């Protein structure tokens, strides 16, 4: 079992969350990097519910956005919920494109 796991490939990391679950013990920290539209002000956000973030991202009314990076975070949050991980902290790491950022979700197993 691992104390920490880093998933730092923002476009694909969400696909490996399920592979991490059997390698986690209670309290393992996963650092999941992902791409998302701006959904909070500031640099960091403390623990929150994945459903709240999904609602914020989907509620931005970005219909017609066919860029494949637009669904990466919501797909990953589906996995976070299904696997029972909790969100401890979210850090905005750097800009990805206008109004999109690379975020680090610090998850707890």
What band does 51 get if pLDDT is binned at 50, 70 and 90?
Answer: confident
Q: What is the dihedral of CA 43, 46, 52, 54, to 10 degrees?
A: 50
Mean pLDDT along residues 63-91: 85
Instruction: Give the range among 2-11, 28-37, 44-53, 61-70 with minimum mean pLDDT.
Output: 61-70
Question: Do 20 and 8 touch, CB atoms closer than 8 A?
Answer: no
What band does 98 get if pLDDT is binned at 50, 70 and 90?
Answer: confident
SS3 6: strand
Give residue 61's pLDDT: 55
Give residue 62's pLDDT: 59
CATH of 2-108, one of 3.40.50.300, 3.40.50.1820, 3.90.650.10, 3.40.50.150: 3.40.50.150
């Amino acid at each position: 079992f691992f104390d920490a796991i880093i998933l730092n490939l923002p476009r694909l990391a969400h696909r490996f969350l399920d592979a991490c679950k059997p390698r986690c013990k209670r309290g393992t920290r996963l650092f999941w990097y992902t791409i998302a539209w701006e959904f909070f002000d500031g640099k960091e956000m403390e623990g929150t519910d994945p459903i709240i973030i999904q609602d914020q991202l989907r509620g931005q009314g970005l219909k017609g956005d066919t860029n494949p990076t637009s669904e990466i975070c919501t797909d990953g949050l589906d996995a976070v919920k299904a696997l029972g991980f909790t969100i401890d902290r979210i850090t905005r790491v750097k800009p990805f494109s206008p109004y999109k950022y690379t975020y680090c979700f610090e998850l707890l197993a």
